[in-house]
Copies of this chain bind each other. A is one copy, B any other.
């Protein structure tokens, strides 16, 4: 009971903020009389969402699948790869810059290659999501593991812990707060990556959100573009929320972030 109450109390602020923003937006659109193809009102978008709900939800499910799988792949690669890079100085000096360069390759430009390598459809969207999401996880993991308290490292060193053991029992738990931040950033990017991937991968009967967006843009249906974006944000936000919950669950008992937020909310 307590925690349900608490949950509702925690939701008040974000819901208020979103509601406030939507109302301001609605009023701004109504006052300025800007045409719908430039900036549709939230109300118009809501109507579109309702009217096209079948198409949007079907698309969202596909996009969510691609984004989620891509995100998981990126998380695993980012955390494991980042840990290896952090642990082995040679890799840090050689692979980290390489990973950085890969991060800077604009996906839209290589997406056609992805299609050729992976074929049309889901695999390409997954790969695109994973490619853009992996770097933040990698960077945050490296940062987190390189910043582990040197005193605790010495402790493990002394007891002759193997690299693997030290990673499992020290580096990984100690860097969870940093990794969670990386995952938070990656959650949003994975959705964007999936959508960009969908721009180049196939679309059959049930079009994913990326295709819905492209089609709507071509037809100057800005309201539908926004409706699809809203749904993609919902997908991303679910991923983000899941990561945040996981992070809270793992660190709230011991990490400074929870102490500091308690102190402040007093």
Contacts and interface: CB of A to CB of B under 8 A. Distances in A.
Interface of A: 10, 12-14, 16-18, 21, 38-39, 87, 89-90, 92-98, 100-101, 103-110, 112-113, 116, 135-136, 139-140, 143, 146-150, 153, 177-178, 180-182, 184-185, 188-189, 191-192, 195-196, 199, 210, 213, 217, 222, 225, 228-229, 232-233, 235-237, 240, 255-257, 259-261, 263-265
Given A13-B90, A104-B236, A135-B188, A178 B143 contact: yes
Q: Which 8 pairs between the two chains have the least Cβ-Cβ distance?
A: A104-B236, A13-B93, A17-B94, A103-B188, A143-B181, A13-B94, A14-B97, A146-B257
Contacts of A236: 100-101, 103-104
A10 B94 CA distance: 9
Nearest to A196: B108
Given A104-B232, A109-B225, A150-B256, 20 more contacts: A13-B94, A18-B97, A18-B101, A87-B264, A100-B184, A100-B236, A101-B236, A101-B237, A103-B189, A104-B192, A105-B229, A106-B229, A108-B108, A110-B229, A143-B178, A146-B257, A147-B257, A148-B260, A150-B260, A182-B185
B106 A192 contact: yes
Given A17-B98, A98-B18, A108 B240 contact: no
Copies, count: 2
- By DSSP majority rule, is chain A's interface helix, strand, loop, or mixed? helix
Contacts of A213: 106, 109
A18 to B, nearest CB: 7
Nearest to A112: B217
Contacts of A38: 113, 116
A256 B147 contact: yes
Contacts of A13: 90, 93-94
Contacts of A257: 143, 146-147
Contacts of A110: 225, 229
